[in-house]
Structure 1
Amino acid sequence: MKIVFMGTPDFSVPILKKVNEIYGVDLVVTQPDKIVGRKKVITSSPVKNMAKELGIEVFQPIKIRKDYQRILDVKPDIIITAAYGQIIPKVLLDTPKYKAINVHGSLLPKHRGGAPIQRSLMNGDEYTGITIMYMGVKMDAGDIIEQDKLKIESSDTKDSLFEKLSIMGTDLLMKTLPRIFAEEVKPLSQNQDEVTYSNNILREEEKINWGNNVEVIDRHIRAFYNEPGMFTSIDDRTLKVYQGKIHQCNNFEKNHEKDANGKIIKLFDDGIGVKVNNGVYIITEVQLVGKKRMNVKDFLNGAGRNLITVGKVFK
């Protein structure tokens, strides 16, 4: 069996490892190396790093729609993709005997696009999941082979969902591949009336809107956890916000109903209490630009001592 695997982020790594363990992978296709951070370090994708560890050849086309001959040279029986990051040309979809399939991090037809996991959190979805699908010319529009559902917990962040869905995707793919190779699957067309899109995250979405409801702010911060993180500003300084929680005391919230959204109304032992549209949000982990990321207790004892005071307003 000749297999080409296409993927880029951490989400794809367990899937690659398991496919290689069970079937063997002949070629890994991933995004080009990127220059990261202030020190401009050339950084490989997690999938490339794993492929090198496993001794698999890596192909990194800048634009796969123009540069795909190396994949055709393999003469793959199947192409397996998982969060690759580029639209795959039709010639590649038509070549393999068992076609090209995708491990997608949503319950299609909901959340087609590049940020399904983040946007399922942002939207307050009760469930997310994995879809194994045949790939088509249109993004995430192919026929569904198999699905599995996962409940989103109130404590889930982008990272925790990525990890859970990566494991779920690996397990579901391993159950599905034997049926694909035996030509026993009965794919279903997607219901066009239920299609929604989850486009990549925009820079302007990373800024906290303190005028939102506390539940919306909490979901957004969990959806942006670790990378890229959300941000706000105070005294013309940018503050990254990585974690927080909803304040649960209703009486306390009622006493501050007339305060401006974004106003710091109390400094707690473990966080900064901020007035929002319908309550109070407590910031618990932050980073001033140019400083270390830290919990709020340490921050208020250091760089934030004079910057964060009751009565100031985040913008």
Structure 2
Amino acid sequence: MTSVIFMGTPDFSVPVLKGLVKHGYVVKAVVTQPDKRVGRKQKITKTPAKLAAEKLNLPVFQPAKLSVSKELDNLIAMHADLIVTAAYGQFLPTKFLKSVKIAAVNVHGSLLPKYRGGAPVQYSLLNDDAETGITIMEMVKKMDAGDIYAQKALKIEPDDTTGSLFTKLAILGRDLLLETLPKIIDGSVRKIPQDPDKVVFSPNISKKQEKITLSMTATEANNLIRALNPDPGAYLMVDGKRLKVWKAKVSKDQTKLEAGSLVSNKNRFAISFANHTILYLLELQPAGKKRMTVKNFLNGQGSKFKPEEKIIDD
């Protein structure tokens, strides 16, 4: 049976891991990021990949930095047939990539060479792309630069968020990987080099990018909201405080009010943006509060604002 060292961290990686086990691959180890503290109570939380591995009774490795860890030597000594990664979150040393007998394979959430890097799904939404997809690729030292084994596209729906796309892409990635691995193993797969002239990068989202600004159109603001849902969330500044927006809808109407003004708070919370556009805020989270529907917000904090008043801070 073909042996695998699997490397992944978030929910996206779990269907891939389970698919490998279900289809008879011998997973010698699951490598994932260390447990981390989450939330206000800073509760130590296991990664989704670790939780799945424990249920499958698979050995788990969690080096803080793989390249200088004792775990690396142990993994190299396993002489696995394959390394399979799916959103692991660390670079893999060249000596590790070369230690496997057949190939090191990555399940990447974009149609490479577009969106190399750590946030491909987020950038597909930020840039209002019509589609995203999965690339099964050969791993090399340079980030996401290896030859392509297989690709499959996925249409982005108007209400998709990063969360919903990751759920869809995880299944697509699992299925495409399982379809492609036998061809990699028997050598019949045809690798395609990436076109360097078409490379686009998608670096991790910065703190600065989380803010919805008044220079954005309603569509651009909505794309940011979708891209940052479920984590970390996009926000507006209202009265000097953050107001997170988890769901919104672009209006077909236009307004003459300056950007950042309240167009209406009667049965809806409509804000003006650049180019006379309007965005309806549908799910919000005031600072220190839980998420709430726009109806609940308007029954509370939202009722104090007056139409035509500029309420969003620059």
- TM-score range for the pair, normalised by the shorter chain length: over 0.9
CA contact (8 A) 2:9 2:48 kept: yes
> Which residue, out of 181, 186, 189, partners 1:185?
189
- For residue 98 of structure 1, what is the aligned residue in structure 2? 102
- For residue 168 of structure 2, what is the aligned residue in structure 1? 164
> Which residue, out of 197, 204, 207, partners 2:208?
204
> Which residue, out of 257, 268, 272, partners 1:275?
272
- For residue 237 of structure 2, what is the aligned residue in structure 1? 233
SS at match of 1:208: coil
Deviation at 1:179, TM superposition (A): 0.8
Q: Which amino acid aligns with 1:17?
A: K
- For residue 81 of structure 1, what is the aligned residue in structure 2? 85
CA contact (8 A) 1:211 1:262 kept: no
Matching of residues 207-286 of structure 1 within 5 Å: 207-249=211-253, 253=254, 256-257=255-256, 259-269=257-267, 271-278=268-275, 279-286=277-284
SS at match of 2:116: coil
Q: Distance in 2 between matches of 1:185 and 1:213?
A: 45
Deviation at 1:303, TM superposition (A): 4.2
- For residue 53 of structure 1, what is the aligned residue in structure 2? 55
Q: Distance in 1 between matches of 2:282 and 2:197?
A: 41
Q: Give the number of aligned pairs.
A: 307
SS at match of 1:262: coil
> Which residue, out of 96, 111, 122, partners 1:118?
122
Q: Which amino acid aligns with 2:59?
A: E
SS at match of 2:68: coil
Whether 1:66 and 2:68 are equivalent positions in the alignment is: yes
Deviation at 1:268, TM superposition (A): 4.0
Unaligned runs of 5+ in 1: none
Q: Distance in 1 between matches of 2:48 and 2:74?
A: 21
CA contact (8 A) 2:281 2:294 kept: yes
Q: Which amino acid aligns with 1:58?
A: V
Q: Distance in 2 between matches of 1:118 and 1:187?
A: 27
Q: Distance in 1 between matches of 2:245 and 2:272?
A: 15
Deviation at 1:302, TM superposition (A): 2.7
Moved over 6 A (4+): none
Unaligned runs of 5+ in 2: none
Q: Distance in 1 between matches of 2:157 and 2:214?
A: 23
CA contact (8 A) 2:258 2:310 kept: no
Q: Which amino acid aligns with 2:12?
A: F
